[in-house]
Amino acid sequence: MTNHSDLLIVGAGILGLSHAYAAAKRGLRVHVFERSATPLGASVRNFGQALVTGQPPGTMLELARASREIWADWQQLAGLQLKRNGSFLFARSEAEEQLLEAFCAGRALEHGYRVELLQGAALNDLYGGQFRHHRAALHGLDDQQLYSREAIPQLIDYLRRDLGVQFHFSTLVRDIQPGQLRSTAGNFHAPRIVLCSGHDYQTLLADQIAALQPQICRLQMLRARPEANLNLQHALLTGLSCVHYGAFADLPEAAAVQAQILREAPHLHEHGIHLLISPTPYGEVIIGDSHDYGSDPSPFNAEQVDNWLLELAEQTLGCRVRVVERWQGVYGARGPAPFSFLEAAPGVHVALMHTGVGMSVGPAMAEGNIARLLEEA
């Protein structure tokens, strides 16, 4: 079986789907190949947070802002349940509060981050006082959140139904050569091929990917039901995230936050733990995460890490939670830059994320990649 089209994409995670959208909306005939029956990688294991506020000034911030508009388009076109009311980042200590104040007074103004700092009465009024035990809350007005395990299949349905993208699930791609792809579904031909293989660095184009020296990050994740009826409508973070996210991590005030973590909770630094909480449409919350880097993610979770995450979550939420599900998140990490788009052979490109922000920047990154492939840029 031989098929001809304009673009072949390997991988149906958020990067693969974003490239498919960018191409199909331009009228290209697109085929997408995915080895599993439904996407099971980073794009459905994550928090569903599409964050603008946490991105560092420059390319990543620009991509996150542009991606925000693409998500808004998908909300309308694909019927996604997208929360566009922002996130709250809570300061738990004086050092964290001073960092947020410095960010708002400096970088936020200089680079146009849409944020507001809630303190005093404004913080006490938030969710009926549920979070008044914190010192401050940074409201990132441009941040978005969705339930990935439902949103990704919805996006696939839209691309198939309205843009004519053809999907080949449960299909292993065996080989990619310029102009040709061999798979268990047959041989396919197109002048352009894009590999969006997530954290699979060995199945296809292994030598070219190895030159990037990427690693894999595994994360411990939980889904839980709060005992209090919070009706949470925002993604939540704490000052712990400020030493991880580029919008804050290089500010002078971040050093005091990092020093406090090392002094009072070195286990959080050792396991790369910083708290993220995302509400699901069903009254639950997704809680995480830890960060463990290597060439192969260990399949074994540490109960102590889950306990630390739950302790942080209960402190932040101000109530107990009951775990209903546990799993491992995973994403590609630690390449030469936050992401790579390289030409492995004539007409054959590889698109990889090297950080865990594919949901935040992937849609616009793919838009730029397709524009360059078509020599629009």
Is residue 266 located within the same domain as residue 181?
no
Is residue 301 located within the same domain as residue 349?
no
Residue 62 placed within a domain? no
Q: Could you tell me the pLDDT band of residue 46, with boundaries at 50, 70 and 90?
A: very high
| Mean pLDDT of the 46-67 span | 97
Helix 358-373 with 14-24: angle, nearest 10 deg: 40
pLDDT digits (tens, 9 = 90+) for 98-117: 999 999 999 999 999 999 99
The pLDDT value recorded for residue 377 is 46
Q: Which tokens is 206 given?
A: 């292994």
Q: Is the pLDDT of residue 271 over 90?
A: yes
Distance CA 87, CA 232 (A): 11
CB 347, CB 179: distance < 8 Å: yes
| Mean pLDDT of the 290-304 span | 93
pLDDT digits (tens, 9 = 90+) for 203-245: 999 999 999 999 999 999 999 999 999 999 999 999 999 999 9
Strand 348-353 and strand 339-345: pairing? antiparallel
**What share of the chain has pLDDT > 70, as a percent?**
99
Is residue 202 located within the same domain as residue 270?
no
Parent domain of 93: 87-141+215-333
What CATH number does residue 119 fall under? 3.30.9.10
Distance CA 300, CA 328 (A): 9
What CATH number does residue 355 fall under? 3.50.50.60
Q: Which tokens is 197 given?
A: 């293989």
Distance CA 364, CA 130 (A): 36
pLDDT digits (tens, 9 = 90+) for 3-44: 789 999 999 999 999 999 999 999 999 999 999 999 999 999
Distance CA 37, CA 153 (A): 11
pLDDT digits (tens, 9 = 90+) for 123-165: 999 999 999 999 999 999 999 999 999 999 999 999 999 999 9
The pLDDT value recorded for residue 297 is 86
The pLDDT value recorded for residue 138 is 98
Residue 251 placed within a domain? yes
Residue 153 placed within a domain? yes
Q: Find how far residue 71's CA is from the centre of its chain.
A: 13
Q: Is the pLDDT of residue 376 over 70?
A: no
CA proximity to 361, closest of 73, 57, 60, 46: 60
CA proximity to 86, closest of 141, 146, 137, 145: 141
Domains identified in the chain, total number: 2
Start-to-end CA distance of the chain, whole Å, equals: 35
pLDDT digits (tens, 9 = 90+) for 192-212: 999 999 999 999 999 999 999
Whole-prediction pTM value? 0.97
- 254 Cβ contact partners less than 8 Å away, ≥ 6 residues apart: 99, 242, 243, 248
CB 284, CB 140: distance < 8 Å: no
The pLDDT value recorded for residue 2 is 59
Residue 108 placed within a domain? yes
**What share of the chain has pLDDT > 90, as a percent?**
97
Distance CA 36, CA 21 (A): 20
| Mean pLDDT of the 68-78 span | 98
CA proximity to 309, closest of 244, 247, 265, 279: 265
CB 257, CB 263: distance < 8 Å: no
- Whole-angstrom CA distances from 43 to 141, 199, 265 are 23, 11, 30
Is residue 225 located within the same domain as residue 114?
yes
